[in-house]
């Protein structure tokens, strides 16, 4: 079973992902965690290109294909073997990131993104997608003035607003898969919601011990 976490910059996905992983292990479940882009040697190289601010501007379609190339490696080397071994797989970002960031954010045709990614995933679909929703201004404030924003983070607030609106539209179009969580709440309150929805999804598939 694949569970994905989605959301904008500073929405706390990685923290929630780590807490969820620990909790699933406590329940006695086998868990594999993946993060996009990256996670295999080749995917890590692609990630470095995608996030490098010093390269020439990437064509939006090149961005779609590079994220898809990284995803192809992660699906083949990490996600598919773990699913075949009966593990619960938690993935920090998946195809919905491409639809939100490159589709809604950059105006790439969503039909093209879906077509390319259908070939990449070979039909692997999340059973549950947790969307950590947050105003981009808040996400940026959380990340703080320190640090060096990467190529995508350094896009303007209007870009990140379209990404957020895109995510909310994707969630509204597929309410059976998405759960939208208010990421402005305290980390523990968000995690409680995460566990509630994950438990329900596992139980519906007879996987909750």
**Is the Cβ of residue 120 or residue 198 nearer to ligand TYD in the bound state?**
120
| 3 touches 127 (CB < 8 A) | yes
Contact between 39 and ligand TYD by CB under 6 A: the answer reads no
Ranges within 98-157 binding ligand TYD (CB under 6 A): 98, 101-102, 152-153
Contact between 9 and ligand TYD by CB under 6 A: the answer reads yes
Interface residue with ligand TYD, options 2, 3, 37, 136 (CB under 6 A): 37
Stretch that binds ligand TYD, among 26-34, 97-105, 164-172, 184-192 (CB under 6 A): 97-105
**Is the Cβ of residue 102 or residue 201 nearer to ligand TYD in the bound state?**
102
Interface residue with ligand TYD, options 43, 65, 88, 93 (CB under 6 A): 93
Stretch that binds ligand TYD, among 19-27, 94-102, 174-182, 184-192 (CB under 6 A): 94-102
Tell me the closest approach of the beta carbon of residue 59 to ligand TYD, in angstroms: 14
**Interacting residues with ligand TYD (CB under 6 A):** 9, 13-14, 36-37, 51, 67, 93, 97-98, 101-102, 152-153
């Amino acid at each position: 079973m694949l569970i994905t976490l989605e959301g904008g910059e500073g929405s706390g996905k990685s923290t929630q992902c780590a807490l969820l992983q620990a909790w699933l292990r406590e329940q006695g479940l086998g868990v594999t965690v993946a993060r996009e882009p990256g996670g295999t040697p080749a995917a890590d190289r692609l990630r470095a290109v995608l996030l490098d601010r010093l390269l020439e501007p990437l064509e939006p379609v090149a961005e779609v294909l590079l994220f898809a190339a990284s995803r192809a490696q992660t699906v083949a080397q990490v996600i598919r073997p773990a699913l075949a071994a009966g593990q619960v797989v938690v993935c920090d970002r998946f195809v919905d990131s491409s639809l939100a960031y490159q589709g809604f954010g950059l105006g790439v045709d969503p039909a093209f993104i879906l077509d390319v990614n259908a070939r990449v995933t070979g039909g692997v679909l999340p059973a549950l997608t947790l969307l950590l929703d947050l105003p981009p201004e808040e996400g940026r404030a959380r990340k703080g003035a320190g640090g060096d924003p990467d190529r995508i983070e350094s896009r303007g607030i209007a870009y990140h607003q379209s990404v957020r609106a895109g995510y909310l539209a994707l969630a509204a179009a597929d309410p059976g898969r998405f759960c939208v969580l208010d990421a402005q709440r305290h980390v523990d309150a968000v995690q409680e919601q995460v566990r509630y929805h994950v438990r329900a999804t596992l139980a519906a598939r007879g996987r909750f011990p």
